[in-house]
Amino acid sequence: MSAKTSAALSLVLVMSIWGSAYAVTKSALNEVPPWLFAVLRFGIAASILVSLARVWDRPAPRSKPLPLGALALMGLTGVTVFFTLANVGLLYTTATEAALLQGSVPACTAALAGLFAGERIGLKRGAGIVVAAIGVGLVVLLGQHAGAASNPLLGNLLVLGAVVSWSAYTILGRRLRHAPQLQVTAYSMLIGLLLLLPFAGYDLLVRPPASISPQTWLGAAYLGTASGAFGFVLYIRALRTLDAGQVANFVCFTPVSGAICGAVFLGERLAPGQLAGGLLVLAGVWLSTRDEASVAGAPGPTS
């Protein structure tokens, strides 16, 4: 098996795992409040990644230390804000709708990079951003109230805010793309985890869980290890074999996996208009990332 084939198969696995994270998180939030659950999963992920970074990704002698300010901003946008908005959003919307909205991250990143980072937005990328935005609008506005979605409009808007936050994290990460990527990921995640601790303390004081079932503990362990730690490692390894534009195209697997898991494990369904919106999001992502090498500057979401 060639290195490129192995990298492609690894990315399919990673995106499928990241897509399943929505259903796992949605189920766990029935027992554990959102900030506390984020700390549980990231406590596991950060401990693994920091250990791996210290062993496998040591900086070269006399290399400059990683900039603490940049890592703090990445931790704030990619962990603290992102998972605050995503987890709270999942209290009000379905895992399936959240997964479809998260699929728009590459298109959103391309738009923000064009507006604030001076990156060129060509005709193909611009068309993809517009198509994805239309799809996002359909998913957000056509959410239906159900047992798993008490306020889909609010939940979808919160998840959309998480998409913007992750796009900001990705753009920040590009500035450190020449630094050891496992270290950047591990230490920015650790900072984001530390910033989450006061909010988790609030959850424990105001709405402590009555009990945590073995299933929820397994869910946190799964998200911390498979999704949070080893998913990042496989993703970074793939970036060393494939160019960033090729890697970005695999993001399309994430909402597909999320929708399948939501339907199979949570019994969720999409309105026809939302399904059309999801297809538009995927088409827009494909257009906006095709042959573009700059859109995948940081590991994908829902880790």
The answer to whether position 157 is within a domain reads: yes
The answer to whether position 294 is within a domain reads: no
The answer to whether position 298 is within a domain reads: no
The answer to whether position 215 is within a domain reads: yes
DSSP class of 298: S
Question: How many other CB atoms sit within 10 Å of the CB of residue 45?
Answer: 28
In terms of Cβ atoms closer than 10 Å to its own Cβ (0-12, 13-18, 19+), residue 99 is buried
Residue 193 belongs to what domain range? Answer: 3-289
CA distance 192 to 75: 4
Residue 146, SS3? strand
The answer to whether position 299 is within a domain reads: no
Task: Identify the pLDDT of residue 106.
Answer: 84
The answer to whether position 296 is within a domain reads: no
One digit per residue, the tens of pLDDT, for the chain of length 303 reads 788 888 888 888 998 999 999 999 999 999 999 999 999 999 999 999 999 998 887 666 667 788 999 999 999 999 999 999 999 999 999 999 999 998 888 888 888 888 887 878 888 888 888 998 999 999 988 877 777 788 999 999 999 999 999 999 988 988 888 888 899 999 999 999 999 999 999 999 999 998 999 999 999 999 999 998 988 888 888 877 876 666 767 777 888 899 899 989 999 988 888 889 889 988 888 887 765 544 555 555 455
The answer to whether position 300 is within a domain reads: no
Which pTM value belongs to this model?
0.90
CA distance 244 to 81: 25
Buried b / exposed e along 248-282 (16+ C-beta atoms within 10 A): bbbbbbbbbbbbbbbbeebebebeeebbbbbebbb
The answer to whether position 232 is within a domain reads: yes
Q: Which amino acid is at 136?
A: V
Question: What is the separation of C-alpha 203 from the centre of its chain, rounded to a whole number of angstroms?
Answer: 23
Cross-strand partners of 149: 146
Q: Are 254 and 292 in contact (CB under 8 A)?
A: no
Question: How many other CB atoms sit within 10 Å of the CB of residue 130?
Answer: 16
**Biggest alpha carbon distance in the chain?**
58
Tokens coding 287:
């257009």
Total domain count, the chain? 1
